[in-house]
Amino acid sequence: MNNTLEAIHLLEVKLNDLLAKYEFLKEENEILLQQNGKLQILLSENKQQLEDQKNKFDLLRVAKTMEGSNEDTRNTKLKINTLIREIDKCISLLNA
């Protein structure tokens, strides 16, 4: 009978230890999920800033090519013509 009580007591101790570890891991998981959410938001903001900077860079490059060499001017004109053709296609699709 004494062995049975010791086994039950040992089982209770292990169960309490297991429950304590579970609670700790549950709290740690919640903290990590919050950190992950914050990092996802930060990553999204950084991606948006990068995209904005790329757009500004492209605009600056176009502006610089307007005052630059003939090759740069030619490339810029080609790009503008391509954009105009795309806009014309969109207009024709809207009118159809």
pLDDT tens for 50-96 read: 999 998 998 888 777 666 666 667 777 888 889 899 998 988 888 87
Kindly list the domain boundaries of the chain, sorted by start residue: 2-68
**Interval 34-58 mean pLDDT:** 94
Are the C-beta atoms of residues 64 and 72 closer than 8 Å to each other?
yes
What's the confidence (pLDDT) of residue 48? Answer: 95
Confidence of residue 33 (pLDDT cuts 50, 70, 90): very high
What's the confidence (pLDDT) of residue 17? Answer: 95
Q: Is the pLDDT of residue 20 over 80?
A: yes
Within 13 Å of residue 6, how many CA atoms lie on the same side as its CB? 3
- C-alpha–C-alpha distance, residues 69 and 14, integer Å: 79
- Average pLDDT over the chain reads 88
Query: Percent of the chain beyond pLDDT 70?
Result: 90
